[in-house]
Amino acid sequence: MIRVLLLVIMLVSQMVWAAPIVVKDLRAGWMLYSENAYQSVNGSSLSDLRTIYFHVKAPIFKGQYLSLGSTENWNLFVNGKLIYSGRNEKFSIDSLALLYSPELFFGIYSDVGVRVLTTQIISENSSQAFISRENAGRPPTFFRDYAIIATAVLSFFLLLLFRTNPQLTLDYFSFAKIFSVQERNENLLASRITSSVNLLFYLFCALLTGFLLSAVFYFASSYFLVAKFVGIHSFGGAFLMWLKLSLFILVLLASKLIIVLFFSSLFNFRETVSFQFFNFLRFVLFTAVVMAMLSLIYFVFKGGQAVFYERLIVLALLLLSAGSVMVLIKLLARAPFSFFHLFSYLCVSEIIPLVIIIKIFF
């Protein structure tokens, strides 16, 4: 397990290290033309959008390149002139400025939409990238300060949980067990899902997931429909949004527990309630830890692509889907019911809530 994890870290680091330096992601400056005026693009309108516009001041980005990429074909217009059609290309900012003007106005059209389109200023020279970032304006540092303090709070909370009940903490973070069909002896407290210690773990899980989601929405807000309700513009606003997201996740966990309790009684699965919810929390923590580790690696190697965070959410949803499959496999080994009966129970207790979560993001 450790060797596989180290191999993944090495591969990710090599890919990030070999990639050009992202000076600026232009997605935040996207505009659409509506009602005889250019308006800012937000997450709610992005899904159906086929044409976007943005400005680039060439003198700020001397020696840099405009990098455009998508999975589908698109057409690029510069100051009203069509200059390229394709999927992935980079253009010298200096050359475009000489051909057209120092004030570059871009338009991009795609038949299938621009949701996955990336528009970035990149550099192959670290010193030039630093100069361009300085000229473009120093980015705010409040989110970095928020992230440091929030990480310290979560670390202290985890340490407190470990000192309170070491065995239960190790059980929650024993990720090898979530992929094991045959369950070993579990901690007695794990079977009491409403005990005070377990409630503290629910709170920790909500805080950790809320913190990770706040980072995702801050760096890649235009990729998600729900991001129009999440705006982080200050240090205090970041903490307030963290609390709101954590409270929302805590409500979701409570709703999940109520659903499991109700339908387990309806489908005669009362003996598996604690086992099922305990494994669900394990998988949520596992997903959160994977997201945190990948984000840390990406941050250390100075990755700057917002699409990374969208793919991170996709990975998290895939892991949660895998968790539902593991629950099905484990219950098949424990419950004396037919597969159809068991699958019907999992549809209402696992699959439908997961589909609702996926629709929240996409």
- Same domain? For 271 and 197 the reply is yes
Determine contact, residues 53/37, Cβ cutoff 8 Å: no
The per-residue pLDDT for range 165-208, each reduced to its tens digit, is 888 888 888 777 777 666 554 544 455 666 777 788 889 999 99
**What pLDDT is recorded for position 143?**
83
Range of the domain at 230: 142-361
> Does the residue 103 lie in any domain?
yes
CA–CA distance, 38 with 54 (Å, rounded to integer):
10
Element (H, E) at 40: strand 37-40
Q: Give the Cα separation of 269 and 338 in Å (integer).
A: 12
Same domain membership, residue 167 and residue 81: no
Q: What percent of the chain shows pLDDT beyond 70? A: 77
Is the pTM for the entire model greater than 0.75? no
Percent of the chain with pLDDT over 90: 11
Of the pLDDT bands very low, low, confident and very high (cuts 50, 70, 90), residue 127 is very low
Give the domain CATH number at 114: 2.60.40
CA–CA gap between residue 276 and residue 203 (Å, rounded): 18
The percent of the chain in helix, strand and coil, each rounded to the nearest 5, is: 65, 15, 20
Instruction: Tell me how far apart the alpha carbons of residues 335 and 272 are, in angstroms, rounded to a whole number.
Output: 8
Q: Give Dmax (Cα) for the chain.
A: 75
Q: What total number of domains does the chain contain?
A: 2
Do both 205 and 325 map to the same domain? yes
Q: What is the mean pLDDT of the chain?
A: 78
In the predicted structure, residue 163 carries a pLDDT above the cut 80 = yes
Residue 312 lies in a domain: yes
Q: For position 140, what pLDDT does the model report?
A: 58
pLDDT digits (tens, 9 = 90+) for 39-74: 887 655 666 788 889 989 888 888 889 989 888 889
Highest mean pLDDT among 6-15, 34-43, 236-245: 236-245
Both 322 and 344 in a single domain?
yes
Q: Is residue 6 part of a domain?
A: no
User: Same domain, yes or no, for 262 and 149?
Assistant: yes
What was the pLDDT predicted at 156? 93
In-domain check, residue 226 = yes
The alpha carbon dihedral of 134, 139, 141, 143 has a sign of negative
pLDDT at 4 over 60: no
The C-alpha atoms of residue 83 and residue 291 are separated, in whole angstroms, by 39
Q: Are residues 105 and 229 in the same domain?
A: no
pLDDT bin (cut points 50, 70, 90) of residue 15 is: very low
Show which of 89, 114, 136 is a domain's final residue: 136
* Whole-angstrom distance, CA of residue 234 vs CA of residue 185: 47
pLDDT of 247 > 90? The answer is: yes
The predicted model gives 250-255 an average pLDDT of 87
Mean predicted confidence (pLDDT) in 145-173: 88
Cα separation of 133 and 175, whole Å? 41
Domain final residue, candidates 109, 136, 163: 136
Q: Residue 78: what pLDDT?
A: 92
Q: Is the pLDDT of residue 334 over 50?
A: yes
